[in-house]
Amino acid sequence: MTPGIGDRMINARGETVADKPAFRHPFRTRRCLVVADGFYEWQRQDGWKRPFFVHGRDDIPFAFAGLWEHWEKGDQPIYSCTLLTTDANEVLAPIHDRMPVIVPRSAYDLWLDPTVKDPNRLQPLLVPFPAEPGDDPADGEGSHCRVRGGG
C-alpha cells in the first residue's frame, strides 16, 4: 500500500495479494488481525442495495485477515489497514460473490508470526470460511455464517 492510493485500498483479493505491487510487501511483513463480531454484505435488489449482517451463531468475535501500512505525509504519520477477501462460501454466495477472509483461531499465531515470510505458508488461509450443514441465509440459523437480512 503506497501513499496516494493506500488510503483508498480497503480490500485486497486473497488470490492475488502475494503478487500485487501494492500488497506483496505488507503480505510478507505487516499482517494483522481485525477483530469483529460480524460484518455487512450488500445484495443488489431492483436498483438498491439490501444489507445483510453476517455473524456467528454464538456471536463470539472472530478475526479478519488484514494488512497494515505506515508512511509519512509531510510530518504526519499515516496508518492504514486493508482486509483480505476471497470467494464467498455457499451461504454468502446468493448475497455477494466475495467475503472477508476469516482466520481460524488455530491459525492466529501463524498469521501474526513476523518470521513467516513465505506466501506459500499463508496462502492456504486465504479461503472462504467453511459453512456447516444447515447454514442458510433464508433461515438465519447457520452456525458459522448466520445471516440476518435488513432493509
The whole-angstrom distance between residue 28's C-alpha and the CA centroid of its chain comes to 17
Q: What percent of the chain has pLDDT over 90?
A: 53
Q: Residue range 21-43: average pLDDT? A: 93
Check residue 70 and give its pLDDT.
Answer: 87
Each residue's pLDDT tens digit, 2-17: 455 555 678 999 999 9
Q: Which three cell numbers stand for residue 58?
A: 454464538
- Whether 53 and 42 have beta carbons less than 8 Å apart is answered as no
Copy the grid coordinates of residue 105: 483461531
Ramachandran assignment for 22, one of left (phi > 0), alpha (psi -120 to 50 degrees), beta (any other): alpha
Q: What is the pLDDT of residues 48-90, one digit of tens each?
A: 888 888 888 788 899 999 999 988 888 989 889 999 999 999 8
The answer to whether 13 and 62 are in contact (CB under 8 A) is: no
Gap between the Cα atoms of 70 and 29, Å rounded: 12
Structural domain boundaries in the chain: 6-129
| Predicted pLDDT of residue 145 | 53
Q: Mean pLDDT, to the nearest integer, of 33-44?
A: 91
d(CA 131, CA 134): 8
Beta bridge partners of 64: 34, 102
CATH 3.20.20.70, domain 6-129, yes or no: no
Name the DSSP class of 72. Answer: E
Residue-wise pLDDT tens digits, 88-106: 998 899 999 999 999 999 9
Mapped onto helix, strand or coil, the DSSP state of residue 26 is helix
